[in-house]
Structure 1
Amino acid sequence: MRIAIFSDTYAPEVNGVARTLKRYTAYLEKVGIDYKLFVPESSTPIPTVPQVERFSSIPFVLYPECRMALPNPLYINETLKAFKPTMIHVTTPFNLGLFGAHYGKKNNIPMIASYHTNFDDYLEYYHLQFMQKWIWKYMSWFHRPFEKVYVPSHTTKEKLVNYNVHPNIDIWGRGVNHLEFNPENKSNRIKEKYQIKEKNILLYVGRLSPEKDIRIVLETFFSLPEDIKKNTHLMIVGDGPLYKSLLSSKSNQITFTGFLEGKELAEVYASSDIFLFPSPTETFGNVVLEAQASGLPVIGANAGGVKNLIKDGQTGFLCEPKNADEFVRKTITLLAQDNFRQTFGKQAREFALEQTWERIFERLILSYKDTLLSKERFSA
């Protein structure tokens, strides 16, 4: 198996798609599957890797961290001829994805696609709702030639089925590193570093952008009863277009850390008490799984992929999207009852332990092999 992968984002970018693809290519290397990756250039200088081909790019209007590549068709053609892929994998339906799909069709190479981002849900936040109809028409047109389309959650699958995007949709889930994200990473160092005096920490980790409904996080915190709020500190971890404007909300009980990763991020998770994640636009919700692995109950929006991760009333609570009052009530419930909160956190950790990257990638490769065999039988 030799896989040519086309994507508009990849490490060292820090979004969920880029990180998933980095783990994916690391797994391919581990099991000895050859791949060639075609991605935009990085805004951060990085070492050259022989399997990765990078191209000039421009920022994508709705998501500047993702970039629209400007492919070099002649070079890509020559590279693919030398590589001789047995499968094409397209992760984004833009410039590079279009080229990958065209090459696969032209050369009768089996093609699979993976769907990662609900761009239609973003439109409301950028006042572009009029484009929704055209986005789904384009998505259906783009994905039709593929043998299979992979999505990260059952909710996302239902959505694509509803819009007739493709007749063959399968789940490619996500995992979490249980050693990296672990309750044992709890440390007093976090409170000391950020000068947190309050007993409880309410945590948000993610991109600071309109489609994440970050305003619900702040509204929830400010709406807590005074007797609970005085013992609660809000930590907001992440960067994005709203970062500077959100700093105006800063107080002695709110900390904006900016982007964190590695050991410090793991310590922040494990040293917090509740994870608050109101985003209704997720296809999965990687940070939710990281919080659960760290032993945190999660209060999230009952929408998108997040609703498939939280067992309401067992590992956390699901709230109606944008309903700040409901987020406040559920947050009060967990902050006011230590034993209740700790039980939820233990059950969240148990759920996360079942979500291993190894198992997920093993299933994905088996699914690839089934797809290749089906293509061969059909062609015969």
Structure 2
Amino acid sequence: MSTEPHDLDLFPEGLRGKRILLCTESLGPVNGVSRTTKMLVDQLRSNGALVSVVAPYNHTKVNTFNPIRSSRNADPLFHEEVRLTGYPLPFNPELSVAYPVRLSELYRRTFGAPPDLIYLASPASLGFQVMLQLRQHSKEFQVPVICNFQTDLAGYCSLLFPWPLGDIANRVFGYVQGYLFRHTSVKTVFYPSTFVKSYLTQVANVPSDKMEVLRRGVDTEGFNPAKRSEELREQWAPNGEPILFTCSRLAGEKGFGFLAEAAIELDKRGMEFKLVVVGGNRNPIVEREVKEMFGPLEEKGKVIFAGFKVGEDLMTHYASADIFLHCSITETFGLVVLEAMASGVPVIARDEGGPSDIIEHGKTGFLVRPNDLSGFVEKVLKLGRDTVLRKEFSAAARSFACEATWERISNKAAWQMFDTIEQFEKNQVASTSTTRIPFMGWLLLSAPVQQFLLWKVTKAKLAFALSIIISFWAVVGSYLVFADVGHLVKTHVPRAYALTKSISRK
């Protein structure tokens, strides 16, 4: 690949017309990863690249990307979006674990043939299957792969699964990711923060020459202090209290336990505030469990659960806040932090994960040691009471965010794709000899016979890879079903008990 620096204000002309198979675990207005993927896909398509997106179904089931089928010369075999069936995660039904699928089937349903490049956005159930099957092909048929590591799956497992399953899953994910990322078919692994780079280097043992930093951008026209709504602020805090704000899926791994403890402590110290929480969970049990953490504050009217917000409504909510509180320690980047800063809202965050690279401590916000509850509360009190400091942080946060544009970030990814495809094509031209298996050459078999036997060997290796995928899915599926049963019990047993008690009283 080219080592010359590229002009990130320009899109690589050579990428126009290239076929890119983009596999993602989430598609639609689901989370920060899917929003990041959307910006990249829109940039690629608007500049002429042919991008076919493959993802499991989620609750939206809509194409949120800009269509390109207006071209009269479009390949009839090309499909912009392919949805796969899967099993929804019990603790987050918006996401699904993709059922086993053949790589050849993905080729057939997208371009009708192998693409020029495969891009894996935050690879997990789908991305792992693609990489495992791809490495079974002979080298000249291994389509080059670029991965974007955006989700700390190992960290989530440690928090979500009970002991010892969490520790086991953590180790398994580290081994599997390293095994797949180190293969020669994977040319680049994008990482968004130093936190992720340390994980990839120390845990997954990914070679440093494969890793490339790729930050995230933000729509600074959409997320803008100008969208501050005094009417909304009056609705939230009629007495002029400081408005604390957070935006996240309501789930335990997002740090809501820590946030609840901090908010309760702020109340005990006499701070008048309103905490606005934007987000929800399609699993009502998980959502209820999170809300119950804030029970004492809800009774006092100090917490407002605003539910899901999108588009202009979401941007107005951001801009109308005073301080953004980020309590998750599993974020590989933390797009919500950058969105808050673009909205002119200073951030207080736990100093672990992606936000540590975004926030400049003492200038755009504060970073607090991950388990320092008292320190976190002190920073909220300080910023909540000092309006002059808040204004200084607000201006600095906005200035920082304006430097992170989606166009330059997407163009960086596009240049990496172009360089990877160009190098792969050069290697194919240079490789003029027929691929041989050593013992076949020793037997002096003819080239057609060698190719036939090679095809047989490849089929056997693919069958073995699929058996691994199916076995792994059986284990994961068993746990998911068990978790679903547990959620059903939590839902219906209390209702049945209450109904029985009500009848007995009558």
* Match of residue 420 from structure 2: 371
* Match of residue 354 from structure 1: 403
Does 2:36 match 1:20?
yes
Does 2:49 match 1:33?
yes
* Match of residue 238 from structure 1: 279
How much identity, in percent, do the aligned residues show? Answer: 30
CA contact (8 A) 2:44 2:414 kept: no
Partner of residue 252 from structure 2, selected from 210, 221, 225: 210
CA contact (8 A) 2:59 2:94 kept: no
* Alignment: residue pair count: 378
* Match of residue 58 from structure 1: 87
Distance verdict in 2 for CA 1:95–1:291, change over 3 Å: closer
Shift of 1:136: 0.7
CA contact (8 A) 2:158 2:169 kept: no
Distance verdict in 2 for CA 1:98–1:215, change over 3 Å: closer
Q: Distance in 1 between matches of 2:240 and 2:395?
A: 23
Q: Distance in 2 between matches of 1:47 and 1:350?
A: 33
Q: Distance in 2 between matches of 1:81 and 1:227?
A: 61
* Match of residue 291 from structure 2: 247
What root-mean-square deviation, in Å, do the aligned CA atoms of Structure 1 and Structure 2 show? 2.2
* Structure with the larger strand share: 1
Q: Distance in 1 between matches of 2:127 and 2:190?
A: 15
* Match of residue 196 from structure 2: 156
Deviates further, 302-311 or 315-324: 315-324
Distance verdict in 2 for CA 1:301–1:124, change over 3 Å: same
Distance verdict in 2 for CA 1:85–1:356, change over 3 Å: same
Letter aligned with residue 199 of structure 2: K
Distance verdict in 2 for CA 1:68–1:83, change over 3 Å: same
CA contact (8 A) 2:121 2:149 kept: yes
CA contact (8 A) 1:150 1:169 kept: yes
Distance verdict in 2 for CA 1:220–1:372, change over 3 Å: same
* Match of residue 11 from structure 1: 28
Q: Distance in 2 between matches of 1:155 and 1:226?
A: 34
Q: Which SS does the other structure have where 2:88 is aligned?
A: strand
Q: Which SS does the other structure have where 1:39 is aligned?
A: strand
Q: Which SS does the other structure have where 1:202 is aligned?
A: strand
- Structure 1 length-normalised TM: 0.92
- CA deviations on 1:111-159 (whole Å, 9 max, x unpaired) are 1111111111123322212322222111111222211111122221122
Who wins on radius of gyration, i.e. which is larger?
2
Q: Distance in 2 between matches of 1:282 and 1:293?
A: 18
1:83-232 to 2 correspondence within 5 Å?
83-102=113-132, 104-105=134-135, 106=137, 107-126=141-160, 127=162, 128-145=166-183, 146-167=186-207, 168-194=210-236, 196-224=238-266, 229-230=271-272, 232=273
Letter aligned with residue 182 of structure 2: R
Higher RCO (CA 8 Å, separation ≥ 6 residues): 2
Q: Distance in 2 between matches of 1:46 and 1:262?
A: 16
CA contact (8 A) 1:93 1:142 kept: no
Q: Distance in 2 between matches of 1:122 and 1:216?
A: 16
Q: Distance in 1 between matches of 2:422 and 2:114?
A: 18
Q: Distance in 1 between matches of 2:249 and 2:359?
A: 20
Q: Distance in 2 between matches of 1:227 and 1:154?
A: 36
Partner of residue 44 from structure 1, selected from 14, 35, 60: 60
Letter aligned with residue 369 of structure 2: E
Shift of 1:376: 4.2
Letter aligned with residue 119 of structure 1: L
CA contact (8 A) 1:270 1:296 kept: yes
CA contact (8 A) 2:193 2:357 kept: yes
CA contact (8 A) 1:228 1:335 kept: no
* Match of residue 96 from structure 2: 67
Shift of 1:343: 0.2
Q: Distance in 1 between matches of 2:128 and 2:386?
A: 52
